[in-house]
Amino acid sequence: MIQESETEQRPAAPKSKALSIPAKIVSYAFHPVFMPTVMAIVLYKLSPISFAGINNAAFGKMLLPIIINTLLFPLLATVLVKALGFIESIHMYNPKDRIIPLLASMIFYFWAYNVFKNIHAPFILRVLLLGSFWGVIAVFMVNIFFKISMHTAAAGSMLGILMVLMFTSPVNLVLPFFLALIIAGLMGTARMILGAHRAGEIWLGYIVGILVQVVAYWYL
């Protein structure tokens, strides 16, 4: 169960002060809360054939509920529970601080997936949102016993949905996937530099993120 001393609740000192600033930039720029929105846009740009009949205006309308349910509402929920004193920090250093925000995110992510399922949205978007919903559940469950990196779980989800796109799309995605690998590596390295996670927590995040997207593809 989650039982950490006070010193374990906050990240260790950065391993390199010179690299701590770029590591923080990477951590904020590729924060997990942005990933569903960013990946929805990336999928639309990489594989227009997967969005046949959907123009830019229609896609913009599709993107709005994704932004609201996977970005705006989770951010507001985290800020609210911090303002009410239920968590110590919005950075959620303590695994216990993740419980309420993750539970709230489960509701928002499920609603986003349910909306897209009911409107028969493009298959790849439904896989992304179902995998993201399952990813939140998986992170929540793992977090009860073991602190997992949410950043690398999001990075793994990015890799996983691109793998699914490679399975389903005739488009050559070798270069985009290679770039995604670099970004995923930077995200994990940044968390290590900042002392936010141990190596095992980093790798577990990658594994969970990839698995939820691939399993969502098989399920759908």
User: Quick one: tokens of 83?
Assistant: 């303002």
Amino acid at the residue 95: P
Position 50, amino acid: S
Question: Would you state the pLDDT for residue 40?
Answer: 96
Query: Which regions in the chain score pLDDT beneath 70?
Result: 1-16
Tokens of 150: 């949410």
Q: Which of 209, 45, 50, 96 is nearest to 201 (CA)?
A: 209
What's the pTM value of the predicted model, to 2 decimals? 0.89
The rounded Cα 180 to chain-centroid distance in angstroms is 13
SS3 169: coil
Residue with tokens 């600033």: 21
Structure tokens at 31: 């924060």
Residues 164-195: b if buried by 16+ CB within 10 A, e if exposed: bbeeebeeebeebbeebeeebebbbebbbbbe
Show the DSSP H helices in 15-122 as ranges.
17-29, 35-46, 56-67, 73-83, 99-118
**67: which residues sit within 8 A by CB, 6+ positions away?**
37
Residue 152 in tokens? 């690398």
Helix (H, G, I), strand (E, B) or coil at 37: helix
pLDDT value for 10 = 56
Q: Domain locations in the chain?
A: 15-47+54-219
